[in-house]
Amino acid sequence: MTKDELKKAAGWAALKYIKSDTIIGVGTGSTTDHFIEALATIKNKIYGVVSSSEVSTAKLKNLGIFIFDLNDVNSLDIYVDGTDEININLQMIKGGGAALTREKVLASAASKFICIADQSKKVEILGNYPLPVEVIPMAYNFVARKLVQLTHGLPKYRKGVVTDNGNIILDIHNLKIIDAIALEKIINNIPGVVTVGLFARRPADIALISSEEGITILS
């Protein structure tokens, strides 16, 4: 199977977790794009979705799926999204698509977070994938210096990227994340940081991991 076929298998596997008459949180990325296509086949069964990015919103609208504003919604039954890395505790590095802030809001708002990923995303220790941090533009040099001091990693400015919230991304390279909850807290506390793409305090509840052998369910 190709990488894209594996992503498709994970995306479609999430469909059976969708309940009738609910509102679904939808993530961002190439694996989630497959989930969006799957969701379109049952769009009349659900009330609609809350989207985590302008890119996903455009795809969802194109397929005729109703979009809610999070401010108009009392509860999100499920949030479905991909990941850049996931460990055995279902803690993740996310934000490769620069949508980490809205993704984190939706993950926190949802009763259940289902992560969809091909097996290449499964790691023993988080940190090989550069850790994205969304930062307000006026603070990025200050935040970068703080990140070096506090994480001993190497922050790099993601060129040409402005987030849906008008901010920039610093990607921290050379990390080996042993205590993900502690690191998430430390980075969150730097003034100027909007969101760190470490999803440890609110990990996934279920991970659907695709491989040549089929889908493995981790929880």
Annotated binding site: 28-31, 81-84, 94-97, 121
CA torsion angle 89 150 131 54 (round to 10) = 110
Closest CA to 24 of 115, 147, 113, 97: 113
Bridge partners, 126 (sequence order): 177
| Nearer of residues 9 and 141 to ligand 5RP, judged by Cβ | 9
Q: Going by DSSP bridges, is the β-strand pair 48-51/23-26 parallel, antiparallel, or unpaired?
A: parallel
Residue from 65, 100, 126, 209 touching ligand 5RP (CB under 6 A): that is 100
Minimum Å gap between C-beta 108 and ligand 5RP is 15
Q: Which of 9, 60, 78, 96 binds ligand 5RP (CB under 6 A)?
A: 96
Residues 6+ apart with CB under 8 A from 201: 181, 184, 185
- Restricted to residues 180-199, the positions that interact with ligand 5RP (CB under 6 A) are none
**Of 76-84, 144-152, 153-161, 168-176, which part binds ligand 5RP (CB under 6 A)?**
76-84
Strands 92-93 and 85-86: antiparallel
Are the CB atoms for 84 and 55 separated by under 8 Å? no
Asked if 153 touches ligand 5RP (CB under 6 A), the answer is no
Q: Which amino acid is at 14?
A: A
One-letter identity of residue 21: D
Does 85 participate in binding ligand 5RP (rule CB under 6 A)? no
- Reading phi first (left if > 0) and then psi (alpha if -120 to 50, else beta), residue 98 is in left
Which one, 21 or 102, has the nearer CB to ligand 5RP? 102
Pattern 21-60, ligand 5RP, x by CB under 6 A: ------xxxxxx----------------------------
CB of 127 to ligand 5RP, least distance (A): 15
Decide if residue 9 touches ligand 5RP (CB under 6 A). Answer: no
Binding site for ligand 5RP (CB under 6 A): 27-32, 81-84, 94-100, 103
